[in-house]
Chain A
Amino acid sequence: MKTNRSNRRALSWRALSWRALSWRAALLAAAVAGAAFQGGVVLAATKASTADHAKFKELQQGFASGPEVTRACLICHTEAAKQVHKTKHWTWEFLNPENGQKLGKKNVINNFCISIPSNYPFCTSCHVGYGWKDANFDFTAEENVDCLVCHDTTGSYRKLPGLAGHPPYQDTEIPPGSGKFAKAVDLTKVAQKVGKTSRDTCGACHFFGGGGDGVKHGDMDSSLAAPDKALDVHMDATGLDFTCGTCHRTASHDVPGSRYTPVARDTEGAHIPGRQDDSLPATCPACHGQVPHKGGGHAAKLNDHVDVVACQTCHIPQIARGGVATKMSWDWSTAGQMGPDGKPMLKKDEAGRVIYDSKKGDFVLGENVVPEYRWFNGEVTYTLLGDRVDQGEGVTRINRLGGSASDGRSLIWPMKVFVGVQPYDPVNHTLVTPHTAGNDDTAYWKNFGWEKAIKTGMQVSGAPFSGQVDFVRTEMSWPITHMVAPKEDAVRCGECHMKGGRLEKVGGVYIPGRDANPLIDLVGWLMAGGALLGALVHGGLRIVRRNG
């Protein structure tokens, strides 16, 4: 019995154990299955990074300011700030080795918002640093480097005009008095989620150059944050999904692709990974080589064009194609008009876009703009502060692009040509650097007085000002290289090979179709017709004589 009882107990325990085990197993399986359903999601969503910054103790704290975050970043990334310090993104200075001009955002004048000096706290919202509020900014301080503006992946990090490169540390009304508030940035959240740069991070500044979305470039605006194939074949978010860094391949934080010394004609072949020279200039041939169209016949004929025409000329048929208008002209001379209530006013077009602003003057906007075309060899010369400007000499070119049909270095490039009317000193014959942004007594956007604004701005620039103000017509050319359309949408042959076509104003080259001479055409047709007639007569006579 005992044996039986103990056997039964043993059996019962065994059964219980199995039952308990099976319960536990089932519970565990269910829990694991539940987690796996979502856990699989977690794994699937994991990016290629080998580091989860949220796990770093240095970043598991509250941060009161951007520099505090940078100090934490530099504990591991010891060389990062030193590298950034050497780049144009940091110095905003560039010495053009070809002509010795001292350029960079800090030095050039343009015909959009004009210039940086005396407007630092506003313009430096696009500087990769913290605290550049005046000419005394410390360019040697490592903690002044802003890591987050390029490495944010949350999309919540932003720097506001007027804060000298800082993000808002508390909810901030912008513009002041508008009732609209920008939220304080959660620095800990952003720091724990840093990652590679993206179209969003680069675009946070480059899409908004000139003071607004799409204003400056025409081929760069917020529509490129997640574009479709029709807008850009390379950045197509559902296709190749290139980031800016795919072409502007960065080393030691230095981003290639210069507006001051661009590569207008890349004569090298495709750059193959693994070769000793691992450079990758941000040019089309760097990937597509010198024979980009594959096949014979029509493709071969297209390849015949690559030593004359930049790829962009055919493959970017229009700019501002993503639904965001670009500014085509800006007339500062009409600024300062007030509304019926005596206050600054805005005028908008039928699409709701601002075409007049009391602070800035009149604008002309454009969408789906056909570029202008010019020979370009990569040489850019700027009209800088102190260079002579004369109203009577017609349009002042803010930047003069070198190039001709005969120099062997030029290609025909598409350009956005931006026209401005901006203040200048008619006595000293120079462009001027007005103090526009600010809440002080001399800021133009506060008091609408050019003399006071220019006096302040020129003092900060260290340049003489006569006290007199007039306006001069200016022009600035922007070579176009983004918004590459699908090949089906490329410029057709007939759009250039015709009279009055896209290349009508491009000189120094014979373009069949455009340059046809009626007399030469007539002679040619007569010769061809004569040859045909001769052959027919000759053949006919032989037939007749044979029959005879």
Chain B
Amino acid sequence: MKSRHLLHMILTAGLLGLSLGAAAYDADWKRGRIYYRSVCTACHAAQAGGSIAPSTMTMAQWESYLKADKHAAGKDSLKKYVGKEYRASIRTQNKAADKFADVPDAELFEDVKAFVIKGAKDGDAPASCS
């Protein structure tokens, strides 16, 4: 019982630390822009029949979409495509994936999020695909 209590407290402290760290992270929208355009847009344009401009959705819609973490109508995780494993798998053909190969997953995800929120239909600077 005590050990379970201890485990819970450790987990709580860990999450607290995680959230504090997350709050402190200052997302780099320009890095997010490069990844979004070079990886997300490039693949969507080539394989998914068209790209998705940040300005096609509102900030709230992007927040909701990113939080849901569903890619390809829920077939897999959105975060997977920002993860190191995915970047490693395409880095030989994709310069952005190669350049950002070692960026922590959470950081790059926040970068991309910062770019699409900024470029949303009601964002600070609505952005097209290119």
Once the chains bind, are B9 and A27 in contact (CB under 8 Å)? yes
* Contact mask for chain A residues 152-191; partner B; CB cutoff 8 A; 1 contact, 0 none: 0011101000000000000000000000000100000000
Bound state CA distance, A369 and B33, in angstroms? 27
Question: In the assembled complex, how far is the CB of residue A228 from the closest CB belonging to chain B, in whole angstroms?
Answer: 7
Bound state CA distance, A238 and B96, in angstroms? 5
Q: Is B68's beta carbon under 8 Å from chain A?
A: no
Question: In the assembled complex, how far is the CB of residue B18 from the closest CB belonging to chain A, in whole angstroms?
Answer: 4
Bound state CA distance, A26 and B104, in angstroms? 24
Once the chains bind, are A44 and B103 in contact (CB under 8 Å)? yes
A38 contact from B25, B28, B98, B124, Cβ within 8 A = B25
Question: In the assembled complex, how far is the CB of residue A277 from the closest CB belonging to chain B, in whole angstroms?
Answer: 34
A33 contact from B14, B25, B98, B130, Cβ within 8 A = B14
B-facing residues in A353-384 (Cβ within 8 Å): none
Task: Give chain B residues whose Cβ lies under 8 Å from the Cβ of A154.
Answer: 29, 124
* Contact mask for chain A residues 221-253; partner B; CB cutoff 8 A; 1 contact, 0 none: 001011011000000011100000000000000
A-facing residues in B102-130 (Cβ within 8 Å): 103-104, 106-107, 110, 118, 124-125, 130
Task: Give chain A residues whose Cβ lies under 8 Å from the Cβ of B96.
Answer: 237-238
Residue of B nearest to A158 (CB): B125
Once the chains bind, are B26 and A31 in contact (CB under 8 Å)? no
Question: In the assembled complex, how far is the CB of residue B55 from the closest CB belonging to chain A, in whole angstroms?
Answer: 12
Bound state CA distance, A314 and B77, in angstroms? 46
* Contact mask for chain A residues 137-161; partner B; CB cutoff 8 A; 1 contact, 0 none: 0000000000000000011101000
Once the chains bind, are A26 and B6 in contact (CB under 8 Å)? yes
Once the chains bind, are A41 and B104 in contact (CB under 8 Å)? yes
* Contact mask for chain B residues 37-62; partner A; CB cutoff 8 A; 1 contact, 0 none: 11000000000000000000000000
Once the chains bind, are B13 and A27 in contact (CB under 8 Å)? yes
Q: Is A501's beta carbon under 8 Å from chain B?
A: no
B21 contact from A23, A42, A198, A225, Cβ within 8 A = A42
Bound state CA distance, A33 and B18, in angstroms? 8
Once the chains bind, are A155 and B107 in contact (CB under 8 Å)? no
Q: Is A10's beta carbon under 8 Å from chain B?
A: no
Once the chains bind, are B130 and A322 in contact (CB under 8 Å)? yes
B17 contact from A30, A183, A225, A228, Cβ within 8 A = A30
Main secondary structure of the interface of B (DSSP, over half): helix
Given the known inter-chain contacts A45-B26, A155-B29, please indicate yes or no for A239 contacting B14, CB distance below 8 A: no
Residue of B nearest to A200 (CB): B30
Q: Is B90's beta carbon under 8 Å from chain A?
A: no
Task: Give chain A residues whose Cβ lies under 8 Å from the Cβ of B104.
Answer: 37, 40-41, 44
Task: Give chain A residues whose Cβ lies under 8 Å from the Cβ of B28.
Answer: 45
Bound state CA distance, A88 and B127, in angstroms? 31
Task: Give chain A residues whose Cβ lies under 8 Å from the Cβ of B30.
Answer: 155, 198, 200, 226
Q: Is B88's beta carbon under 8 Å from chain A?
A: no
B10, B11, B19, B104 — which one has the most chain A CB atoms within 10 A of its CB?
B10
Bound state CA distance, A39 and B20, in angstroms? 9
Bound state CA distance, A26 and B6, in angstroms? 9
Interface Cβ pair total, 8 Å cutoff? 105
B-facing residues in A19-56 (Cβ within 8 Å): 23, 26-28, 30-42, 44-45
Once the chains bind, are A30 and B10 in contact (CB under 8 Å)? yes
Once the chains bind, are A41 and B16 in contact (CB under 8 Å)? no
Q: Is A323's beta carbon under 8 Å from chain B?
A: yes
B10 contact from A26, A45, A229, Cβ within 8 A = A26
Given the known inter-chain contacts A23-B6, A41-B21, please indicate yes or no for A31 contacting B16, CB distance below 8 A: yes
Q: Is B24's beta carbon under 8 Å from chain A?
A: yes
Once the chains bind, are A38 and B34 in contact (CB under 8 Å)? no
Q: Is B99's beta carbon under 8 Å from chain A?
A: yes
Once the chains bind, are A38 and B22 in contact (CB under 8 Å)? yes
Task: Give chain A residues whose Cβ lies under 8 Å from the Cβ of B99.
Answer: 238
Task: Give chain B residues whose Cβ lies under 8 Å from the Cβ of A27.
Answer: 9-10, 13
Given the known inter-chain contacts A23-B6, A31-B16, A155-B118, please indicate yes or no for A42 contacting B130, CB distance below 8 A: no
10 inter-chain pairs at a CB distance below 8 angstroms, sorted by A residue, are A23-B6, A30-B13, A34-B14, A35-B17, A38-B20, A38-B24, A41-B110, A44-B107, A154-B29, A198-B30
Residues of chain A whose beta carbon lies under 8 Å from any beta carbon of chain B? 23, 26-28, 30-42, 44-45, 154-156, 158, 183, 198, 200, 223, 225-226, 228-229, 237-239, 322-323
Residues of chain B whose beta carbon lies under 8 Å from any beta carbon of chain A? 6, 9-11, 13-22, 24-30, 33-34, 37-38, 95-96, 98-99, 103-104, 106-107, 110, 118, 124-125, 130
Given contacts A38-B17, A41-B104, could you give 19 more A-B pairs where the C-beta distance is less than 8 Å?
A28-B13, A30-B10, A30-B14, A31-B13, A33-B14, A33-B17, A34-B17, A34-B18, A34-B19, A37-B106, A40-B104, A41-B107, A45-B25, A154-B29, A155-B124, A226-B30, A229-B95, A237-B34, A238-B96
Closest 10 CB pairs of A and B: A38-B21, A34-B17, A156-B124, A34-B18, A238-B95, A35-B17, A31-B17, A30-B14, A41-B107, A34-B14
